[in-house]
Amino acid sequence: MSLRPSLDQPGFSAGKRSRLRRILHQHGLCNGTALFLPYDQGLEHGPRDFFANPAASDPAYIIRLAIEGRFNGIVLQIGLAEKFFWDYAGEVPLVLKLNGKTDIPPDANALSPLHANVEDAVRLGADAVGYTMYVGTPAQESDFEQFHRVREDAQRLGMPLIVWAYPRGSAIEAKGGKNSFYAVDYAARTASELGADIVKVNFPHPELRDGVKEPYRAEFSSQQAIDAVVRSANRTLLLVSGGERAGDEAMLEKARESMEAGATGLIWGRNVWQRQQHESLDFVARIQEILAKYPSDS
Catalytic positions: 166, 200
CA distance 188 to 5: 14
Q: Provide Rg for the chain, Cα atoms.
A: 18
CA distance 115 to 117: 7
Q: How far is the CB of 197 from a second copy (least distance, A)?
A: 9
Residue closer to a second copy, measured from CB, 7 or 255: 7
Looking only at residues 127 through 146 of this chain, which bind a second copy when binding is defined by CB under 8 A? 135-138, 140-142, 144-145
1 lies in the binding site for a second copy (CB under 8 A): no
295 lies in the binding site for a second copy (CB under 8 A): no
Q: How many residues bind a second copy (CB under 8 A)?
A: 76
Element (H, E) at 204: none
216 lies in the binding site for a second copy (CB under 8 A): yes
Looking only at residues 52 through 81 of this chain, which bind a second copy when binding is defined by CB under 8 A? 54, 57-59, 77-80
Count of positions (residues) in the chain: 298
204 lies in the binding site for a second copy (CB under 8 A): no
Residue closer to a second copy, measured from CB, 122 or 252: 122
Q: How far is the CB of 50 from a second copy (least distance, A)?
A: 8
Region of 263 (left: φ > 0; alpha: ψ -120 to 50; beta: rest) is: beta
Q: How far is the CB of 288 from a second copy (least distance, A)?
A: 28
96 lies in the binding site for a second copy (CB under 8 A): no
Among 8, 10, 244, 278, binds a second copy (CB under 8 A): 10
231 lies in the binding site for a second copy (CB under 8 A): yes
189 lies in the binding site for a second copy (CB under 8 A): yes
Residue closer to a second copy, measured from CB, 82 or 260: 82
Site string for a second copy, 165-184 (x = CB under 8 A): --x-xxxx--x------x--
Q: How far is the CB of 232 from a second copy (least distance, A)?
A: 5
Among 185, 204, 251, 288, binds a second copy (CB under 8 A): 185
Q: Using CB atoms within 10 Å of the CB of residue 157, give its burial: 0 to 12 exposed, 13 to 18 middle, 19+ buried.
A: middle
CB 4 within 8 A of CB 297: no
Element (H, E) at 271: helix 270-273
Among 67, 114, 122, 252, binds a second copy (CB under 8 A): 114
For 67-197, strand residue ranges (E) read: 73-77, 94-97, 128-135, 161-167
193 lies in the binding site for a second copy (CB under 8 A): yes
148 lies in the binding site for a second copy (CB under 8 A): yes
42 lies in the binding site for a second copy (CB under 8 A): yes
Name the nearest CA neighbour of 217 among 186, 175, 189. 175
38 lies in the binding site for a second copy (CB under 8 A): no
Give, in degrees to the nearest 5, the angle at Cα 245 between 105 and 29. 115
Name the nearest CA neighbour of 284 among 52, 38, 37, 41. 37
Q: Using CB atoms within 10 Å of the CB of residue 165, give its burial: 0 to 12 exposed, 13 to 18 middle, 19+ buried.
A: buried
Residues in Cβ contact with 148 at an 8 Å cutoff, skipping those fewer than 6 apart:
none
